[in-house]
Amino acid sequence: MIDAKPDAAPAPPLWPALVAMTALQALVSLALFAPGTVAPRAGLSIEELSLFSTAAFAISLVSSFWGGTLVQKIGSLRVAALCAVAVCVGMSMATLGQGWALLGAGLVLGLAAGPETPASAALLGRLVPPEQRAMVFSIRQTGSQIGAVVGSLLLPPLAVGLAPSSAYAAVIICAVIGFISFERLRPAYAVKLPPMPYLGLRQRLQLVSSDRRMAALAVASIPFSGMQVILNTCYISFGTSELALSHVEAGWLLASAQGAGLIGRLGWGAVATRLRSARTVLVMAGAGMAICALLLGLWGPRLSGSVLVLLTFVFGLTASGWNGVFIAEIANLAKPGRVAEATGAVLTTSFLGLVAAPLLVAVLTPRIGLGGSFVILGLTAAAGAAVLLMERSHARN
């Protein structure tokens, strides 16, 4: 049970909770990002990276089923602390350097990646008024980019200068700090939450399909999520194998994409607030990531350095910048008191893209290369943007 505060107690402050939930996502992102950043030095193949990502997000899909229920039972910050424990265990396994250990690390990290978003949505959803959600949720979603930028800049030099295991050890240290911080903050946000019904796969699909707007959002998120995970996991390998970059140079290039994603998560939230239309922003992001993936996949090796940096920046701005607006739109569409439930339901479909895209790339890359895989994923992202555009047109008619 969660220790309940008196009903008359003043609402706890937003910013400590927002910082904590942003840090949680940064930690999970850093852990999921780590194998891809050290891959050239560790000798990890695209197939091994794809298997790691698939394992992580397959378990995320399963763990997201009970994420909302777990939040209701033990609270968002206790869930955050348990996610930090999972990161410690997963990264400890990855330090062994064996294929089976990396697979095990992915399975364990999935236990953190699944519940962390419903936990954040439940905590922030009750602290933030609806008119501010797009901006606040976008700020929270910058955690993914913070973790990715830190990973891109710091982990490759650690792997090259010391060993891949030193990069994993750095993530473990961050997880220990996170665990202590979440536990210290937890009592201030302990509240009694209303009971939440268990949602199996069938109930989740019914919840999503019952609202045409939410269904379109869920469908579009599949290719968007797939594009994002491949950008995060395979771009350094793409840079070293097809763009003739060094390991550290590829890391810096990916860091620029993730920095752009951080800017995008804030910028897209501001744009959505100004336009009063998250759908328009998501259509723009989908079209942008599709164009960037097609250009990089078809002509990446022929591009000059400055054009490559600019294109990579825009790629990150779109493929890594859409999530905050996406989560905020789910919160807006959800019924009162069911934000975590709706978030978990829609994320079920999003995880399908996270699971399927690495498998697709693992199959395609030996045949058409990573550039060809980017082209295929770009076409699917364009299809996702078209789904949102058609739903928006239907809503107007």
In angstroms, rounded to a whole number, what is the distance separating the alpha carbons of residues 253 and 249? 6
pLDDT digits (tens, 9 = 90+) for 190-226: 765 555 555 555 666 666 666 788 888 889 999 999 9
Close Cβ partners of 274 (under 8 Å, ≥ 6 residues apart): none
Query: What integer best gives the mean pLDDT of the chain?
Result: 84
**What domains lie within the chain, and their CATH numbers?**
14-189+198-396 (1.20.1250.20)
Query: Biggest alpha carbon distance in the chain?
Result: 64
pLDDT of residue 196: 54
Q: Which is it for the CA torsion 153, 155, 159, 163, positive or negative?
A: positive
Enter the tokens of residue 204: 């989740």
* Per-residue confidence (pLDDT) for residue 220, from 0 to 100: 92
The residue written with tokens 């045949």 in the block is 367
Mention every residue, 6+ apart, whose C-beta is less than 8 A from residue 74: 2
Q: What is the pLDDT of residue 2?
A: 44
* Nearest-angstrom CA–CA distance, 172 and 27: 9
Helix locations, the chain, DSSP H: 14-42, 46-63, 67-74, 76-94, 99-113, 116-125, 133-161, 164-185, 201-209, 212-241, 247-275, 278-299, 305-319, 323-333, 339-396
User: Which residues make Cβ contacts (< 8 Å) with residue 280, sequence separation at least 6?
Assistant: 272, 392
Contact (Cβ atoms closer than 8 angstroms) between residue 133 and residue 328: yes
**Which has the closest alpha carbon to 329: 232, 164, 237, 216?**
216
| Cα 144 from Cα 23, distance rounded (Å) | 9
pLDDT of residue 87: 96
pLDDT at residue 85, rounded to an integer: 96
State the CB neighbour count (10 A cutoff) for residue 262: 21
Report field, pTM of the whole predicted structure over 0.85:
no
d(CA 392, CA 397): 9
- Tens of pLDDT, residues 113-164: 888 887 887 788 777 777 677 678 778 877 888 898 888 888 999 988 888 8
Under-70 pLDDT residues of the chain: 1-11, 65, 68, 131, 134, 191-210, 335-341, 344, 392-397
pLDDT for res 42: 83
